């Protein structure tokens, strides 16, 4: 019995930790980074003491909550930079990062603002900006990216993408894909206007025309 008790306690602790992270991901994704720790504890059905035992500060909770997104963001950028066609690689980076951010409002806030509680997000942003700078330079040399592009334009695209509001994550991602396609076309030196992704319903349908 005494041998089993430590195992049971470790299992309970792992379950509590998993519930806390699940609750934090849900809350930060939908409500942003200002969600108080007590609300995370309430959503996870644990006491504040249990929450702080696993995550002594909000910074530690945020860092682990966004670990997967940070890894995905780095992978997207690295894959784009490895593409032998720099314009195609840059387009994929823009499209996929916009979609990643559309799925998680909290990660977007951390990434764009360099949120002080998420040092890893600030580092991820620095890595992204540095890598995209090299990719953009190559795309300009290939004559595919407009010559007046600056890195602030990428931040501008992500800030605009953050402003997309929709009734569901699915609709927000769909709208983000269309927005990213429009942004890519605006950045191309010689746009060929490839077909856009399907539109997303973001506004109520207009009332029927009463005129005959």
Query: Looking at residue 126, which CATH number applies to its domain?
Result: 1.10.357
The whole-angstrom separation of Cα 33 and Cα 30 is: 9
Same domain for 161 and 75, yes or no, is yes
Angle of CA points 113, 115, 116, to nearest 5°: 140
Same domain for 79 and 174, yes or no, is yes
Same domain for 52 and 128, yes or no, is no
Residue 203 lies in a domain: no
Nearby residues of 43 by Cβ (< 8 Å), 6 or more positions away: 23, 26, 27
Same domain for 111 and 166, yes or no, is yes
Domain that holds residue 89: 67-187
Same domain for 93 and 160, yes or no, is yes
Residue 32 lies in a domain: yes
Question: What's the pTM value of the predicted model, to 2 decimals?
Answer: 0.74
CA dihedral angle for residue 33, residue 28, residue 123, residue 53, rounded to 10 degrees: 90
Q: In tens digits, what is the pLDDT along the chain, a chain of 212 residues?
A: 555 545 545 677 788 999 999 999 889 888 888 899 999 999 999 999 999 999 999 888 988 888 888 888 889 999 999 999 999 999 999 999 999 989 887 888 777 765 555 656 667 677 878 888 999 999 999 999 999 998 888 888 988 998 898 888 899 999 999 999 999 999 999 877 667 678 777 755 555 655 54
Same domain for 98 and 183, yes or no, is yes
Residue 91 lies in a domain: yes
- Name which of 97, 105, 101 is nearest 76 in CA terms: 97
- Name which of 117, 104, 101, 110 is nearest 59 in CA terms: 117
HSE of 51, CA atoms in CB hemisphere, 13 A? 23
- Name which of 169, 179, 33, 178 is nearest 108 in CA terms: 33
Please check whether residue 27 is in contact with residue 35, taking contact to mean a CB–CB distance below 8 angstroms. yes
- 145 forms beta bridges with 188
- 188 forms beta bridges with 145
The whole-angstrom separation of Cα 45 and Cα 51 is: 10
3-class SS at 188?
A: strand
Task: Please state the domain count of the chain.
Answer: 2
- Please give the distance of CA 104 from its chain centroid, rounded to a whole number: 5
């Amino acid at each position: 019995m005494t041998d089993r008790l430590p195992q049971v306690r470790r299992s309970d602790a792992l379950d509590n930790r998993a519930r806390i992270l699940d609750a934090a991901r849900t809350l930060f994704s939908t409500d942003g980074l200002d969600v108080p720790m007590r609300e995370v504890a309430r959503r996870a059905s644990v006491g504040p003491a249990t929450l702080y035992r696993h995550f002594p500060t909000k910074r530690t909770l945020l860092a682990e909550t966004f670990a997967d997104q940070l890894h995905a963001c780095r992978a997207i950028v690295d894959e784009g930079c490895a593409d032998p066609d720099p314009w195609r690689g840059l387009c994929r980076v823009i499209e996929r990062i916009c979609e990643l951010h559309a799925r998680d409002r909290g990660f977007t806030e951390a990434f764009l603002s360099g949120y002080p509680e998420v040092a890893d997000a600030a580092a991820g942003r620095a890595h992204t900006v540095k890598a995209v700078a090299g990719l953009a330079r190559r795309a300009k040399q290939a004559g595919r990216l407009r010559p007046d592009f600056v890195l602030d334009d990428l931040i501008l695209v992500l800030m605009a993408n953050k402003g997309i509001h929709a009734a569901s994550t699915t609709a927000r991602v769909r709208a983000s894909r269309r927005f990213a396609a429009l942004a890519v076309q605006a950045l191309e030196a010689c746009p060929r206007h490839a077909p856009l992704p399907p539109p997303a319903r973001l506004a109520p349908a207009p009332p029927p025309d009463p005129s005959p």
